[in-house]
Every structure is written in C-alpha cells, then in structure tokens.
C-alpha cells in the first residue's frame, strides 16, 4: 500500500512539475523604463500572444544604453522563455561607444523576428520660439548652447541620429540623457529640456494635447499621425533615421524553439486588428523570418557604425 501511494505521489509530482514547466511565461525584456513608446507596443504584443495561448509578460530593465537588458538576456537560459527587444544600438553602435561590453552581440544572441518600424522625430515644447526644424537650426546658430536636448540614452539611435545631424550642419545642443522615453517626456513637460529625439509613439498624446510639436520627421515621408509635420528632406536636409525594433533570444536557443517563437509572433504582426491598434500609437508592425531580421539588422549596423565612429564621441560609461 505504501509502495502504491509512493508511486502515485511520484506520478503526481511529475505531472505537477510538467504542468509548471508548461506554465512558464515568455518574458520579453525591454531595455527602457516602463511607459515609453516601445514598452507600450511590446505590452500590446504580449497581451495578444497571451490571448493566443502563449502566456507572455514584459519586464523592464532600463539603463546603460540597453547594456543592462542585453547582458541579462545573454546570460539567460536558452530555452525560449526569455527574449529581448533589440535594436541597432544594442547590437551595433554599442560596440563603438563602449570600451568593453559584458555581452557579445554576435555570439550571445540569435535572431527571432523584426517586430516594428517608425522614424526618429524631433519634438519641441510649443512655448519655444521655433515651429519647425529649420527655425530651430537658425535659433541654435544664433543662440549657441541655449537648447537642451533630451534622449532615451546616450547610445540610443534617437540620440545618435540628432548628433550626426547637428555635426553635419554645424550646430550643437546640450545633451541630457534619460533611461527611456517616459522620464524624458516628464522632463519636457516640466520645462527641464527643450527638444527631444524620440518616436511618435511616446510623444503623440502630448502632441495632440498641444504641449509638444514635431519639428521634423527623419523619414522619406510624413507621418499619418502628424500630417502637418514636414520631413527633414522637405526642409532641405537629406537625413533619415529609421527606428527598427527586433526580438532576440540567447545565442544557444535551439532553432526549433526560435522557429516556434517566430511563428507565434508573426501571426500577431499580420493580424489586421493588431495592425490597426499599433498604427494608432504610431507603430508600423513588420515581421519576417530570423534570416530576414539578420540581414536587416546587419545592413543597419553597416550604415550606422561607420557614421558613429566618424563622430569621435567619448566612450559611454557603464
């Protein structure tokens, strides 16, 4: 009898262990503070994945220009339960801007999928004396050192692209870094900074409320959310800076696990209802295969790494 009870207990324990393992959620690590644009989009994605049977949570690990989040996921168990929102800064320009990284972008990660795209924009408070990028440039030339420019991190593209633009036309602003969109937006609202390199997602509510205006869009076309905001090219500056967002898994994650993740994620990205919701906050969902993600990310790195190297920026602290 005791033996039978012991056997039943062992079977029950094994069953519970198996059930627990199956209940482990997919964790998407976001390298920025909660409440920002990419965080909002990935929470939408996580909610939809959960509805479709893949229980998904979002965990924010801001700071260090995405180094903290990248290092965390690089060391995570490669079982498909932990992935990170990656981008060209994490996987490319950080190798130039840091003397030493605790992770290897090439060896420590494997591509899962691209998830979204949007251009970099420059927003400003509406109480300032310039209404578009051209007027801001003229003001910066006439008033050196008077413009405080925020960014979601020193090694983030929405900081690096404005720096590259400023150097190309001979102006400079005072850079004030934050650890994501949310704290930078609060600094704008409290008049601590004047302009901000960001995306439409995080700034759109404040543009609609009349507190911010878009000075310029770093893309080939205007944004539908702010059709009155001109592109840089329209104002005579041939400069584009796409913000592409990816999902990456630890490097040793098995290919079949990556394929399963890719399939689940891409099913959401092509859903018309999800696309409509994402566009409503300024995100353009874009998926694809892991190979397509690698090619796109590598093309971004090939463009931005030489440009950032030519800026001769000081190495970022860790």
Same domain? 68 vs 213: no
Same domain? 254 vs 196: no
| 7 has a pLDDT exceeding 80 | no
Mean pLDDT across the chain, nearest whole number? 92
pLDDT bin (cut points 50, 70, 90) of residue 69 is: very high
Is residue 212 classed as helix, strand or coil in its secondary structure? strand
Same domain? 198 vs 60: no
Angstrom distance (rounded) from CA 229 to CA 277: 22
pLDDT at 16: 45
Same domain? 112 vs 246: yes
Q: DSSP letter at 233? A: G
* Residue predicted with more confidence, 9 or 188: 188
Same domain? 113 vs 123: no
Same domain? 135 vs 163: yes
Same domain? 42 vs 141: no
pLDDT at 1: 46
The answer to whether 200 and 178 have CB atoms below 8 angstroms apart is: no
The predicted-structure confidence for 258-294, as pLDDT tens digits, reads as follows 999 999 999 999 999 999 999 999 999 999 999 999 9
The CATH number given to whatever domain includes residue 157 is 3.40.190.10
The CATH number given to whatever domain includes residue 249 is 3.40.190.150
In a domain, 11, yes or no: no
In a domain, 199, yes or no: yes
pLDDT at 5: 57
| Maximum CA extent, the chain | 92
What average pLDDT score do residues 295-311 get? 96
Same domain? 34 vs 111: yes
The predicted-structure confidence for 84-120, as pLDDT tens digits, reads as follows 999 999 999 999 999 999 999 999 999 999 999 999 9
What average pLDDT score do residues 130-152 get? 96
Of 194, 173, 174, residue with least CA distance to 184 = 194
Residues contacting 103, CB < 8 A, separation 6+: 67, 70, 71, 74, 109
Q: Which of 194, 220, 235 is the last residue of a domain?
A: 235
| 45 has a pLDDT exceeding 60 | yes
In a domain, 10, yes or no: no
Same domain? 294 vs 229: no
pLDDT at 202: 87
Angstrom distance (rounded) from CA 230 to CA 303: 24
Angstrom distance (rounded) from CA 31 to CA 84: 8
The predicted-structure confidence for 151-162, as pLDDT tens digits, reads as follows 988 888 999 999
Q: Which of 217, 235, 253 is the last residue of a domain?
A: 235
Angstrom distance (rounded) from CA 246 to CA 250: 13
Angstrom distance (rounded) from CA 181 to CA 164: 20
Of 64, 96, 33, 66, residue with least CA distance to 318 = 64
pLDDT at 3: 58
Lowest mean pLDDT among 20-24, 102-106, 133-137, 217-221: 20-24
Angstrom distance (rounded) from CA 32 to CA 18: 33
Q: Which of 185, 218, 235 is the last residue of a domain?
A: 235
In a domain, 13, yes or no: no
Domain that residue 32 falls in: 25-117+242-310
In a domain, 19, yes or no: no
In a domain, 161, yes or no: yes
In a domain, 33, yes or no: yes
pLDDT at 307: 93
| 317 has a pLDDT exceeding 60 | no
pLDDT at 19: 44
Same domain? 44 vs 113: yes
The answer to whether 58 and 180 have CB atoms below 8 angstroms apart is: no
Is residue 116 classed as helix, strand or coil in its secondary structure? strand
Q: Pairing state of beta strands 109-119 and 284-285?
A: antiparallel
| 132 has a pLDDT exceeding 90 | yes
The predicted-structure confidence for 172-203, as pLDDT tens digits, reads as follows 999 999 988 889 999 999 999 999 999 999 89
In a domain, 20, yes or no: no
Report the 10 Å Cβ neighbour count for 260: 13
Angstrom distance (rounded) from CA 279 to CA 67: 29
Same domain? 108 vs 253: yes
What is the rounded end-to-end Cα distance, in angstroms, of the chain? Answer: 62
pLDDT at 184: 92
Domain count, the chain: 2
Residues contacting 74, CB < 8 A, separation 6+: 102, 103, 104, 108, 109, 250, 251
Report the 10 Å Cβ neighbour count for 18: 10
Same domain? 130 vs 197: yes
């Amino acid at each position: 009898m005791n033996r039978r009870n012991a056997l039943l207990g062992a079977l029950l324990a094994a069953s519970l262990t198996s059930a627990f393992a199956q209940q482990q959620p997919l964790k998407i690590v976001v390298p920025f503070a909660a409440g920002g644009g990419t965080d909002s989009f990935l929470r939408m994605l996580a909610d939809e994945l959960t509805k479709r049977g893949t229980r998904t949570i979002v965990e924010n690990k801001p700071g260090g220009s995405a180094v903290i989040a990248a290092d965390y996921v690089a060391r995570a168990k490669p079982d498909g339960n932990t992935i990170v929102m990656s981008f060209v800064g994490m996987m490319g320009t950080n190798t130039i801007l840091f003397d030493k990284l605790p992770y290897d972008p090439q060896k420590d990660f494997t591509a899962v999928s691209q998830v979204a795209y949007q251009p970099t924009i420059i927003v400003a408070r509406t109480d300032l004396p310039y209404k578009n990028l051209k007027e801001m440039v003229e003001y910066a030339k006439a008033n050196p050192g008077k413009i405080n420019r925020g960014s979601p991190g020193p090694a983030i593209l929405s900081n690096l692209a404005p720096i590259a633009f400023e150097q190309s036309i001979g102006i400079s602003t005072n850079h004030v870094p934050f650890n994501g969109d949310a704290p930078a937006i609060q600094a704008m609202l409290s008049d601590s900074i004047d302009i901000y390199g960001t995306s439409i997602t995080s700034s759109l509510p404040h543009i609609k409320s009349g507190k911010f205006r878009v000075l310029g869009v770093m893309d080939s076309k205007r944004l539908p959310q702010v059709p009155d905001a001109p592109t840089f090219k329209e104002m005579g500056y041939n400069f584009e800076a796409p913000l592409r967002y990816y999902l990456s898994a630890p490097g040793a994650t098995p290919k079949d696990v990556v394929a399963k993740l890719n399939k689940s994620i891409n099913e959401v990205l092509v859903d018309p209802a999800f696309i409509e919701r994402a566009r409503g906050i300024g995100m353009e969902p874009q998926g694809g295969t892991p190979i397509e993600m690698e090619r796109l990310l590598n093309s971004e790195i090939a463009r931005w790494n030489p440009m950032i190297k030519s800026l001769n920026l000081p190495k970022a602290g860790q």
